[in-house]
Structure 1
Amino acid sequence: MARSQFPTSRRSYLAAVGATLATAGCLGFGQGSAQTIEMGVVPDVDPDTAIQQNTGLAEYLENQLDVTIDLSTSADYAGMVRSMASGQVDIAYFGGVSYVLAHHRADAEPVVVGSKDGSTDWHSVFITHESADVAAMEDITASPGQYDLVFGDPISTSGTVMPTYYLQTEHDTSPADFASSTHVGAHDATAKTVANGSGDVGALNARIYDSLVEDGTLGDGVTEVWRTPGFPDYPWAVAPSVGEGRIDAVRDAFTSLDESDNADILETQNVDEYVPVTHDDFTSLNDGVEMAGLLDDGGQTTG
């Protein structure tokens, strides 16, 4: 049975995991002595929800691969990159940017991405609160200095990096042009910050926003003002510890998820199916990461 390694306190979790791994090392596929996989997920929502959303998938993979899976998350996106780079994670769910960093720093390789409605593209959405009195994105970009901007994790693809990119390329506006620019971590935290009126404009993952709207979490005061063009994001990637002989098995387990038998897992993952990918599918994002200078920060970016 998959088990969460994330207790109530993120601080105590990280300390406990660090101590355990320092003693025992990561028990991945590649070691041959124990069939245990360390599986990590970036905290694109609050940590408890991130674990909950991936527990069913972890249990499915346990059965498909005949292994035990230890499921965990991290304090921020950069923490998951560091976990793979230090050999503490074998398989991880990354944002696009954090994957690119893990590819360069930990030789991570993507195996699958989720497809929804026939597309593997993801989008960011800009939202605002009714108190900001904004009707369209042009209202914001005409006078950005009047508004407080809220982003997610600093290296979140759809919560910071791509919204920043499209602000600049589509609207000739920079986060520095706003009255303030704040990072609050997970996508749901961004939405809730805008919903409670603590921020005027927020950018977050569009699929997560749609889910929050559907379940009524945000109330009636939050409005979408702009949805960006699509971009690659959210691959499942493997570390070298998995071993070449096991990568195909991992990929096949993901792509074998079927709506007729596992619709609940796919719905929780917010995808219709998983499809194979390679690093070449992230070439444009890799170029963007290099242009942004994110490969030069030594992996120290935190949320």
Structure 2
Amino acid sequence: MAFLTSACSGEPKPSPTAQSAPVKTLVVALVPDEDAATVIQDNQGLKSYLEITLDVPVELVVSTDYSTLIEAATRNKSNLTYFGPLSYVIARSRATFLEPFAVRLKDGASTYKAVLIGNREQGIDSFDAVRGQTVALGDPASTGSRLFPQLRLAEAGLQPNVDYQPVFLGTHDAVAKAVERGTAAAGGLSQVIYEKLVEQGTINPDKLVVLGTSSAIPQYPWTMGSGLNEELRQAIKQSFYNLKDPALLQPLRADGFVPAQDSDYDSIRHAARVLELSLPELVTKS
């Protein structure tokens, strides 16, 4: 898909039902919080399930970074978009037609946390030890590997470019690997992804120290763009809410899906204000 590697032109569509032509292929854009091959593989079961339940071909695409994901959604180049919470808030500030409709449920909760980790060999075993060090983060528009890790560091009295040097590596797994190798003294990423990497043996937890966790974060939202007729919109929602097959849900690290709404992400907006982050600038710098 061309939109994955370059910004798109044109103005956002004004409403979810502005266009209602039949959809020949449902384009599903996925947040690049891990490497693209992993993201695609984890969503193959969901793709097949949607094709069967909706009777429409589904194309999975992974953007090169969060900025191009946001651009694609706000320019209505994707039908469904799986955002991180912060990237959703950025996109929604530019395109109010984006409708969050589902979030994953895990262990009875529709929230997750970020984790701060340090390199054990370098003696990074406390927040105070982070002072003067390099801290690896994911994408500038990432919630779990940028916004909430930096919020937790701020709560510990550490400010970027003053008490530590942030470096953006793009994905959560890249952050974990950098801290494990010692190319970054500390880093922040989603706790769910951290635990997955440990479970898979991708990283060695013996080389790492968990410094702390963030407060609860609202889960990644699934959203719809404009151009889908009401019948298809309702069918998509019900397909997500009715998904109960553990074999399909396990790769998604979910027990099921529940409805979502825009106000669920007001805490993300609040966190961005606390850190004095400009949403437009996050897109520009990502």
**TM-score scaled to structure 1, two decimals?**
0.84
- Residues 13-56 of structure 1: CA distance to partner in whole angstroms, max 9, x if unpaired? 637x98xxxxxxxxx99542443111100100011111111121
Could you tell me which residue of structure 2 aligns to residue 148 of structure 1?
A: 134
User: Quick one: structure 1 residues 133 and 289, their matched pair in 2 at CA, closer, same or farther if it must change by over 3 Å?
Assistant: closer
Counterpart position of 1:59: 48
- Letter in structure 2 aligned against 1:254: F
Aligned equivalent of 1:160: 146
Quote how far apart the aligned CAs of 1:92 are: 0.7
Q: Distance in 2 between matches of 1:72 and 1:14?
A: 11
Matched-pair contact (CA < 8 Å) for 1:187–1:204: yes
Rounded to whole Å, the distance in 2 between the matches of 1:222 and 1:95 is 25
Assess, with a 3 A threshold, how the Cα gap between structure 1 residues 90 and 294 changes in structure 2: closer, same or farther. farther
1:276 to 255, 259, 269: 259
Q: Quick check: 1:53–1:269 contact (8 Å CA) kept in 2?
A: yes
Aligned residue in 2 for 1:201: 186
Counterpart of 1:24? none
SS of the aligned residue for 1:132 comes to coil
Q: TM-score, normalised by structure 2?
A: 0.88
Aligned partner of 2:224 in structure 1 is 238
Q: Does 1:224 align with 2:213?
A: no
Structure 1 residues 266 and 192, CA gap change in structure 2 (3 angstroms):
same
- The residue aligned with 2:103 is 113
Conserved? CA contact 2:112–2:217, under 8 Å: yes
Measure, in 2, the Cα distance between the counterparts of 1:242 and 1:195. 45
Partner of 1:214: 199
Between 87-96 and 241-250, the greater mean CA deviation after superposition: 241-250
For 2:5, which of 1, 14, 17 is the aligned residue? 14
* Structure 1 residues 221-279: Cα deviation after superposition (integer angstroms, max 9, x where no partner): 12212111111131111112224443322111111111xxx212211111111111111
One-letter code aligned to 1:263 = P
Q: Which residue of 2 aligns with 1:185?
A: 170
CA spacing shift, 1:214–1:29, aligned 2, 3 Å: farther
Higher helix share: 1
SS in 2 for 1:128: strand
Unaligned runs of 5+ in 2: 9-16
Alignment check: 8 A CA contact 1:187 1:208 kept: yes
Cα pair 2:29 2:60 within 8 Å, conserved: yes
Aligned length: 275
Q: SS of 1:80's equivalent?
A: helix
What is the match of residue 26 of structure 2? 37
CA distance in 1, matches of 2:233, 2:22: 18
1:280-299 equivalent positions in 2, closer than 5 A: 280-289=263-272, 292-297=276-281, 299=283
Task: Report the CA distance between 1:127 and its aligned residue.
Answer: 0.7
Q: Quote the sequence identity (%).
A: 29
Whole-Å separation in 1 of the counterparts to 2:4 and 2:225 = 22
Is residue 194–residue 202 contact of structure 1 (8 Å, CA) maintained in 2?
Answer: yes
Is structure 2 residue 236 aligned with structure 1 residue 250?
Answer: yes
Q: What's the CA shift for 1:104?
A: 1.9
Q: Matches of 2:266 and 2:229 in 1, distance apart? A: 24
Inter-CA distance 13–80: structure 2 relative to 1 (3 Å threshold): closer
Correspondence for 2:126: 136
* Alignment root-mean-square deviation, CA: 2.4
SS of match in other structure, 2:285 = coil
Structure 1 gap segments, 5+ residues each: 6-10, 19-27
